Structure 1
Amino acid sequence: MEKRLNRSDLIFSLAFILMLIIAVGAFFYGVRVGTDRVEAKYAAAETPESSATPQPNAYQQQDLVSFYHTVFLPYREFQNDWLKAQDKWLSDPTADRAASMKDLAKSAQHKYDAIKKVQVSSISQQLKDSQTNYLKSLKLFNESFSKLAASANQGTGQLVLDKVNADSYYKNGLTYFLSAQKQYFGSMLKWAESIDPNITGDYENSETLTISKWKTLPLVVKMKVASDYLSSQTQLVDFLPHDLTARVDQFIVSGQADKRKIISFNAIAELLMSTGAVRSGDFISMKSRYYENEQLPQLPFFFSDN
């Protein structure tokens, strides 16, 4: 005779089946979670580090400003002292040029020591290269002045300057300085590219930049062109690339380019420099006339006379 299950047996059987269902479900859930974790681990391992941790943007305005105060300005102070010394040697026959040259050598070493301590981020490669070239320039100027100081009181001031300009250490130091300046202004162009997609950060001047083309360029590109031009001239001047830029624009706007039938930037720049028509501070004096709406990094030499 078939035995019927009593109530307790039925409850026990149902409970057993329920526990079995829960155990099986937990097993498959655990397998799924474990699989997801393993896949996530391998996916993370395959992801490039650069995409996992984005690098900060290079050539930020704060980097340009910091470089101005810690690298550019100390070098500029040395440069101004050297230019003042030249003027004194030419105007005062009794000037103690030997003592002056020794002081300049010490100043070059002092500025070198200060600039060398500055940390410039390697992601801003042009700024890093500019710092390196400023340092090389100061080191070579120091060596040149130290070597020539002993004979600096012999002959005229012009004769001494001719010896300095012919010295290989000095000539190489000048080349490094001009490269450093070019790279600093190149970094400003990189900054401009980061905030304006219409600006090309790698702009290179053609051999013949026509006036019509020059007129279409943003100010920051014009300054880069001017710094490139100055680097090719191997001259130590008291003005900066934006001063030359302003003088070129004034020359064009005044109608002098048309009057003289000059059609290129290089021809205008050569004429202005050969006649001593460019001065430090020209940009500041003309800024409100020509560049009121131009965007520039907040660097002191764009807003006050330095």
Structure 2
Amino acid sequence: MEKRLTRTELLFSFGFLFMLVVAVGAFFYGVQIGSDKTESKFIEQTKHLSSTKEGVVTAYQQQDLVSFYHTVFLPYREFQNEWFASLHKMSSQQLVDSSSALKELSSLAKQKYKEAEHASVPKTSPLLEEAQLQFLKGLKMFQEAADRGAVSAKELSAAELLAALKQDAYYLEGVKHTMAGQQNYYDAMLKWASSVNPNIPSNYANPDVLEIAAWKALPLVIKNKLMAEQLNVRKQLASFYPQDLTTRVDEFILSGQASKMKMKTVDAIVDLLINTEAVRSGDFSGSKAQLYTKDLLPQLPFFFPEKE
């Protein structure tokens, strides 16, 4: 005969379940609050940069893109590179103290946040303003994820810690914000290109199905914008740039591999390249001279490295 729970035991069980639900809800609410606080702080600190005139014409100048690269995008990328390097060492058992490494990543994210926070972005370039905000929110989330990982590192194996980091709510929020910021930046490059070449549209919506034939006819700046969008939709934090992915897609098509595999869409090619880890940082620079000698690009360091 089954033993029935007493009234006290039932109340205790229900109370425990209620507290568990509240705790989980409070955690995810805290993640959102942290993200919102970053946005509010940024808006407050940049009020003095706002124009009092209405109807300001949007103008994306090359110097704005270059300034943004050095003051916002590069600090973020420097953090991201260290993040990938540390996680690689962790996965290959090269780290003696994972907790200390994660604490250093947290400190670096905080440092890079301060650098990007003080960057001045013109009000006439709202896409860059939004990109700055997204990168700031992303760095803040990565800082929190690293702090939480540093605590967990004391109790988990390297493999368990890596898995936990990739599933951490703060990490996932960080990826979401930084990939959105990257897309904003590449959208801004398209705006600039359209102001230089009237044959290039200032907006280009990715069709539901992008055929290879249509892709081949697109300017490079649109292709790069579409690849930034692909990474954003996938929430794919990658060590490579969108233009590296563009290059691998073009090479895959030109080599005849897409035809041999009877692929019809760019999405299918991107899926294959990402899933097989066939894209590397530097792919664009390695093929630029052969593929993109006549294409219009802003004078940004990752398009025109010093060694060229």
Is TM (by shorter chain) over 0.5? yes
Q: State how far apart, in whole Å, the 2-side matches of 1:176 and 1:152 are.
A: 25
CA distance in 1, matches of 2:174, 2:195: 32
Number of equivalences: 255
What's 1:205 paired with?
206
Equivalent residue letter for 1:302? F
- Shift of the 73–141 alpha-carbon distance from structure 1 to 2, 3 Å rule, reads same
Q: Which residue of structure 2 aligns with residue 239 of structure 1?
A: 240
Q: Where do 1:249-260 residues align within 5 Å?
A: 249-260=250-261
Question: 1: CA distance between counterparts of 2:228 and 2:220?
Answer: 12
Sequence identity percentage:
45
- Distance, in Å, in 2 between the alignment partners of 1:60 and 1:93 is 44
- d(CA) in 2 for partners of 1:281, 1:94: 26
Tell me the alpha carbon deviations over residues 249-302 of structure 1, each in whole angstroms, 9 at most, x when there is no partner: 000000000000001111001000111110000000000111011110000000
Q: Deviations over 1:9-64 (max 9, x none)?
A: xxxxxxxxxxxxxxxxxxxxxxxxxxxxxxxxxxxxxxxx789xxx6761100000
Provide closer, same or farther for how the CA distance between residues 281 and 94 of structure 1 changes in structure 2, counting only shifts above 3 A. Answer: closer
Residue identity in the other structure for 1:185:
Y
What residue is the counterpart of 2:100 in the other structure? Answer: 99
State the SS of the aligned residue for 1:118. Answer: coil
Select the structure of larger CA radius of gyration.
Answer: 1
Q: State the 1:93 CA deviation.
A: 5.7
2:49 match: none
1:31 corresponds in structure 2 to none
TM-score (structure 1 length as normaliser): 0.80
Cα displacement string for residues 169-218 of structure 1 (whole angstroms, at most 9, x for unaligned residues) = 11111100000000000000000010111111111101110000000000
After superposition, the C-alpha distances for 1:46-101 in whole angstroms (9 at most, x for unaligned) are xxx789xxx67611000000000000001100000000001000112653110000
Give the 3 Å change call, closer, same or farther, for CA 275–229 of structure 1 in structure 2: same
Q: Which residue in the other structure is 2:112 paired with? A: 111
Cα pair 1:93 1:157 within 8 Å, conserved: no
Could you tell me how far 1:156 is from its partner in structure 2? 2.6
Q: Tell me the residue number matched to 1:294.
A: 295
2:62 counterpart of 1:61: yes
2:234 is paired with a residue of what secondary structure? coil
Rounded Cα–Cα distance in structure 1 between residues aligned with 2:204 and 2:274:
23
- Identify if the C-alpha distance between structure 1 residues 138 and 168 changes in structure 2 by more than 3 Å, giving closer, same or farther: same
Distance 2:96 2:235 in 1: 27
Q: Is the 8 A contact 1:284 1:305 kept in 2?
A: no
CA drift of 1:104 comes to 0.5
Give the letter aligned to residue 58 of structure 1.
A
In the TM superposition, what are the counterparts of 1:82-231 in structure 2 within 5 Å? 82-92=83-93, 94-231=95-232
The equivalent of 2:272 in structure 1 is 271
* Cα deviations by residue, 1:149-173 (Å, 9 ceiling, x for unpaired): 1121433322111111111111111
Unaligned runs of 5+ in 1: 1-48
The RMSD of aligned alpha carbons is 1.7
After TM superposition, the runs of 4+ consecutive aligned structure 1 residues lying more than 6 A away are: none
Task: Give TM-score scaled by structure 2 length.
Answer: 0.80
SS in 2 for 1:232: helix
Contact in 1 for aligned 2:58/2:126 (Cα 8 Å): no
Q: Does the aligned pair in 1 maintain the 2:89–2:95 contact within 8 Å?
A: no
